Amino acid sequence: MRIVVLTGGIGGARFLTGVRAYARQAGAEVTAVVNVGDDVIMHGLRICPDLDSVMYTLGGGADPERGWGRAGETWTVKEELAAYGAEPTWFGLGDRDVATHLVRTTMLDAGYPLSAVTDALCARWRPGVRLLPATDDRLETHAVVSDPGGGSDGAGTQRAIHFQEWWVRHRGALPTHRFVFVGAEAAKPAAGVLDALAGADAVLLAPSNPVVSIAPILAVPGLREALVGGRAPVIGVSPIIGGAPVRGMADRCLAVLGVPCTAAGVAELYGARSAGGILDAWLVDSADAGVAVPGLTVRAAPLWMTDEAATTEMVRAALALGRPGEERG
């Protein structure tokens, strides 16, 4: 069996620990298609937060408390940069993490595509699943916000800031009009992505942020079409439990789109494949049992990713939804 997972960073990485455990039991192969919309160049280094969260988590090198970056991290480089007054100062750049960004940036500068660079980094981390960036091209999520300084007529002006600045520096608390995926129109799926989707027996949407983790993946031309046109069932796992995003700020992102922060709201945002969307089935938490979404098979199961065993059961429940008839098994 071949499983493809569309994923963001921290939430997706946790989910993938369960997918990997399931796959080991079932003898399945896993490919993760990872968001690159958070990627950013800082201090001359190419940083890929979601790819790194997944790689470090699956490779056993992630900081378990912080959820991002390396375990046993030190911050000398960050302090030294601050001593120079080098901007930005609000971004967490750990010493161990810097080594990853140096290797990545050097390889990219030498002409290797991001997918090949990711492979090379994974030779060290051995994540146990195949990691593919959604695209090798530059695709950046920006937030269009009201510029507090602009507009002498009182109408205000708008400006776009990188998602990292919106999220990390401003905690998503600026008046925000929309998100744009800069570069998406010209982006192509990374080498291997379309083949993975074509060969998939099941596609899972991790319980990642739908607005800024999954949407930028789907914004790569051809990727959404491959998903919708493919033979594999597409099963989503809700990132929202009982009206709350569990961890993180998905509620702030959903609010920008005017989508209710509920399990049904996110399912309707993705849409049923039968009605022009992408999903065949939707797994919600037991707290949301009874939620109905037109066109979708909906089932409830515990969705708190407390440990690998609980997460593995979640994955099992999601995959069962792709095999109608067995779904009660």
Residue from 36, 47, 160, 241 touching ligand GDP (CB under 6 A): that is 241
Residue from 53, 57, 141, 262 touching ligand GDP (CB under 6 A): that is 53
Supply the minimum distance, in Å, between the C-beta of residue 35 and Ca ion: 6
Contact between 69 and ligand GDP by CB under 6 A: the answer reads: no
Say what angle helices 10-26 and 308-320 make with each other, to 10 degrees. Answer: 70
Q: In the window 221-240, what residues touch ligand GDP (CB under 6 A)?
A: 238-239
CA distance 217 to 134: 6
Residue from 4, 6, 12, 104 touching ligand GDP (CB under 6 A): that is 12
Angle, vertex CA 305, rays to CA 125 and CA 34, nearest 5: 45
**Residue in 6, 3, 4, 12 with CA at minimum distance from that of residue 305:** 12
Q: Which amino acid is at 199?
A: G
Residue from 60, 120, 304, 323 touching ligand GDP (CB under 6 A): that is 304
Q: Which amino acid is at 132?
A: L
**Residue 24 DSSP SS3:** helix
Closest to ligand GDP by CB, 24 vs 247, is 247
Residue from 115, 118, 213, 262 touching ligand GDP (CB under 6 A): that is 213
DSSP letters for 223-290: HHHHHHHSSS-EEEE-S-BTTB-SSSSHHHHHHHHT--SSHHHHHHHH-BGGGTSSBSEEEE-GGGTT
Partner whose footprint covers residue 233, from Ca ion, ligand GDP, none (CB < 5 to 8 Å by kind):
none
Each residue 233-272 as x (binds Ca ion by CB under 5 A) or -, in order, gives ----------------------------------------
Supply the minimum distance, in Å, between the C-beta of residue 10 and Ca ion: 7
Supply the minimum distance, in Å, between the C-beta of residue 157 and Ca ion: 28
Supply the minimum distance, in Å, between the C-beta of residue 128 and ligand GDP: 18
The 10 Å Cβ neighbour count of residue 224 is 15
Q: Which residue is nearest to ligand GDP (CB)?
A: 11
Residue 160 pairs with which residues in a beta bridge? 144
Contact between 38 and Ca ion by CB under 5 A: the answer reads: yes
Contact positions toward Ca ion, by CB under 5 A? Answer: 8-9, 38, 50
